[in-house]
A and B are shown apart, each in its own frame.
Chain A
Amino acid sequence: MVFLGSQVLPGSVALSILGPEADPRSVELLNHQLGVDRPLLVQWFGWIWHFLHGDMGLSYVHQAPVSPMVMQALGYSLKLAAVALLLVVPLGIVGGVVAALKVNRPLDRIISLGGLSATVLPEFVSGIILILVLGIWLHWLPISAAWPNGADPLTQIYYLVLPSLPLVLVLFGYISRMARAGMIEAVESDYTRTAVLKGLTWGQVVWRHVLRNALLPTVTVVVTQAGYLMGGLVVIETLFRYPGIGSLIFTAATQKDFPILESGVFVVGTIFTMTTFLADLSYSVLNPRIRMGTGQ
């Protein structure tokens, strides 16, 4: 589907390489030399045959192996996703818990409304505002995510904070809403009432009984968002000049560089499937009823 979809996009590989002022005969010749004028099925089966043998092929545009490009981009995306999750998960859960414990009070409204508003704010808008405020006016954070060569892990994290913030804004509302809903449901449940009645402090009740049950759906949401963080950050990667896999796939699509496009989509799809599987797995680990149900 990806391959066929890419065929309807305008332009050609040769035009991407040679530029708009190339002679049409040169464009035609280069397309022929690259083999992109072969029948679609021949191109697709050729790629799939190599892929099944562990070879992602050569990039049409760069004439270099695709595998290192995809793996390097994947590494970058994993780092950005990790930093974004490290920031947003605690914030989202704490925000949701606090909102649930103060339900229908001003703090709950501020967290809920603020979170939802931030979620609908497009990343390129929040990104530019954050760059202007934190990068250009206050000079607190570097505005590009590209750290210097040989930077240690802490420096890399420092460079990733600003690009992570728009993602935090997008995900905070989502995660906090799930945590809030789970908390309210758990607080109102019979086992919570029982725990209170048997004399536990409110803190003990929340920590031992409420949170464990309340956060089950939140965990699922967090894990599935990892898929979005891996492949869906084209805007953030462009704005912060970050060489992740989202922009790699996007560029490959615009240049009709099919081997990179197919390989990139395959890798992101695999990660998405794996994270979904992990979400299911974690749900069953956290919820004994699911495990028992599976056993039956």
Chain B
Amino acid sequence: MPRNSDLLSSLRSRLTPLENHLIDGYVDGRVNRREFLRHGSVLGLSLPLLGRLSLAAGLGAVPTMARAGVQPGATIRVGCATPVSMDPVRLGSPGGVLLVMQVGEFLCINEPDRVLSPCLATSWKPNQDGTVWTFVLRKGVKFHSGGEMKADDVVATFDRLADPNSASPALSAFRGILQKGATRKLDDYTIEFHLDSPIGNFPYLVSSDNYNTVILPASYAGDFETTWDGTGPFKIEKFDRRRGASFVPFEDYWGPKTLPARTEFVFYDDIQPQILALQGGQIDVINTASALDSVALMNDPAIDILAIKSSGHMSIHMRCDIEPFNDPRIRRAVALCIDREKLVKGLMKGQAIIGNDSPFAPIYPSTDPTVPQRMRDVAQAKELMKAAGMEKGFQAKITLPKQSELPAYAQLVQAWVKEIGIDLQLQVLDWKSYAGDAKYGSSPWLDVPMGMMTWGNRGVPNVYLASSLMSTGTWNSAHFKNEQFDTLTKGYIAALDLEAQRATAGKIQRLMLEETPGVYAYFWSYLSPVKKGVVGVKPNAMGQLFLQGAGKA
């Protein structure tokens, strides 16, 4: 495809230096198309504009989401976990997240292909250093209660979440970044976020990625379970806290016509009954199932499994401040024993991608692909053990929660490290016992010498880096304290430019391979089993299901 230099120059003339640098990287081949789309969306470039830029650069069109072949008017039945609380401000359970986003919407959406798409905001832009982000709101958006969504509602939503007294899980993402009062209205359809420090990927924090940021009316009084007032494509029909909920299309929805006549969400306390219900034809979709849970469905010709690559992972952490794991050679030796390919092919049935002992998943555009991949090397591991004076091995205990594939994973690790003389005992606890109070000193998770943890998907690795690895991290279970890492992480989080992010990410990745506070062996895919013939179901890696385009083929 030939390059149209005139058109390209014309399009570029309206863009900022930051945006033009991204295009330079794309044209020169340093940034591939997926990364171009993804980071372009973070900077607020719309998908049509990115498509025109790509065509003008002679690099082809961008994919579009099609709705062809979907019959409207269907009832889509979804199996999901029983929600705990429905208040969007305090939302934390997977079932609650799924239900609230049926009626509520976000400023932007982290799509299944990890591109940020506009939703209640039509565009956004950072200032030069990324400390102020301006969002333009969509006009003509109605709440289910009748009022129009305007800047006051958005400001109130974020002030509510950033209020330290809100006790919102969103504070994990906003603390030290967005204060109450720092979201300002410029006019009815424009707002600004004034951040405490520069954040290069800030739009992710106000997207569906941060599920508490559903835009609520300014008058919201904590009564969501009664009002169900949002701007989304569905409105509530019926809700029974223990049995399920049903939704019907919202007639005044601003977006494309909602195709299903009705959606039903059936609550389950366990995954096994959901699998039986899907096989028995009583539900059409399971919101999420792990690879182990899905084994029975993988060979079922009546079931399709939608797989979304994610940054979700199971980490193994080793305390860097106490023996024997205070020696980085021992930690590296443990990591070198892990057979990542076997984990992906065997344990995860191919529904995962190999990790390289840092939270930089291959799906992130900022991940530096030139960093060498750590592979299993028992001979090198034995040398490291010898160098550390541990050639005779030692006894240790790994503590883990009884969650998903973790116990099976731990058994494999136990067998692998035995080859270098480590006699690893397993201690499996239920999740609540393991998490304890989730505070240092009263949580096995944060206190044990060696443990495991499940981390859900994030659009950007900021939370993994800042909360679980920085010296000041809330969940730094490895007790990893490294000034260089802290400085690099701050630089990474602040960087606006993709190539600058990648350069810093590469340094972090190499440092983590050297220090190895933990093992990040694989990043799982997010699986949603769907009955064959049901089409247009769009899950993302946050456990959210977009059903407005769903129907029967």
Contacts of B474 in A (CB 8 A): 23-24
- Residue A83 at the chain B interface, CB threshold 8 Å: no
Within 8 A of B (CB), among A1-53: 9-12, 14-27, 29-30, 33
Contacts of A15 in B (CB 8 A): 432, 435, 437-438
Contacts of B201 in A (CB 8 A): none
Residue among A15, A73, A241 facing the most chain B CB atoms (10 A cut-off): A241
What is the CA–CA distance of A80 and B95 in the complex, to the nearest angstrom?
26
Q: B167 touching A247 by the CB < 8 A rule?
A: no
Q: B439 touching A24 by the CB < 8 A rule?
A: yes
- Residue B430 at the chain A interface, CB threshold 8 Å: yes
Contacts of A16 in B (CB 8 A): 84
Contacts of A9 in B (CB 8 A): 432
Q: B433 touching A247 by the CB < 8 A rule?
A: no
- Residue A284 at the chain B interface, CB threshold 8 Å: no
Stretch at the interface among B64-72, B276-284, B330-338: B276-284
Q: A17 touching B172 by the CB < 8 A rule?
A: no
Q: A251 touching B168 by the CB < 8 A rule?
A: no
Contact flags A70-106 to B (C-beta < 8 A → 1, else 0): 0011000000000000000000000000000000000
Interface size on A, residues (CB 8 A): 49
From known contacts A30-B90, A62-B85, infer whether A20 and B276 are also in contact, taking CB-CB under 8 Å. Answer: no
Contacts of A171 in B (CB 8 A): none
Residue among A20, A21, A135 facing the most chain B CB atoms (10 A cut-off): A20
Contact flags B424-448 to A (C-beta < 8 A → 1, else 0): 0000001111011111000000000
Contact flags A176-194 to B (C-beta < 8 A → 1, else 0): 0000000000000000000
Contacts of B456 in A (CB 8 A): 21
Stretch at the interface among B32-40, B120-128, B239-247, B345-353: B239-247
- Residue B13 at the chain A interface, CB threshold 8 Å: no
- Residue B73 at the chain A interface, CB threshold 8 Å: no
Q: B276 touching A69 by the CB < 8 A rule?
A: no
What is the CA–CA distance of A84 and B496 in the complex, to the nearest angstrom?
64
- Residue B267 at the chain A interface, CB threshold 8 Å: yes
Q: A149 touching B238 by the CB < 8 A rule?
A: yes
Q: B268 touching A241 by the CB < 8 A rule?
A: yes
A186 to chain B, nearest CB (A): 44
Within 8 A of B (CB), among A121-140: 128, 131-132, 135-136, 139
Q: B169 touching A22 by the CB < 8 A rule?
A: yes
Contacts of B439 in A (CB 8 A): 24
Contacts of A131 in B (CB 8 A): 276, 280
Contacts of A132 in B (CB 8 A): 276
Residue among B238, B276, B456 facing the most chain A CB atoms (10 A cut-off): B276
Contacts of B273 in A (CB 8 A): 144, 238-241
Q: A18 touching B167 by the CB < 8 A rule?
A: yes
- Residue B92 at the chain A interface, CB threshold 8 Å: yes
**Contacting B171 at CB < 8 Å: which of A26, A136, A247?**
A26
From known contacts A23-B169, A27-B438, infer whether A17 and B90 are also in contact, taking CB-CB under 8 Å. Answer: yes
What is the CA–CA distance of A33 and B166 in the complex, to the nearest angstrom?
10
Residues on A facing B (Cβ under 8 Å)? 9-12, 14-27, 29-30, 33, 61-64, 69, 72-73, 128, 131-132, 135-136, 139, 142-144, 146, 149, 238-241, 243, 247-248, 251, 254-255
Residues on B facing A (Cβ under 8 Å)? 82, 84-85, 90-93, 164-169, 171-172, 175, 225, 238, 240-244, 266-270, 272-273, 276-277, 279-282, 430-433, 435-439, 456, 463, 474
Which 4 A-B pairs give the minimum distances between C-beta atoms?
A19-B92, A11-B432, A243-B242, A30-B167
Jot down 18 A-B pairs with beta carbons below 8 A, ordered by A. A11-B433, A19-B91, A19-B169, A23-B169, A23-B474, A24-B439, A27-B438, A29-B164, A63-B85, A73-B242, A132-B276, A136-B279, A142-B280, A144-B266, A146-B266, A241-B266, A241-B277, A251-B269
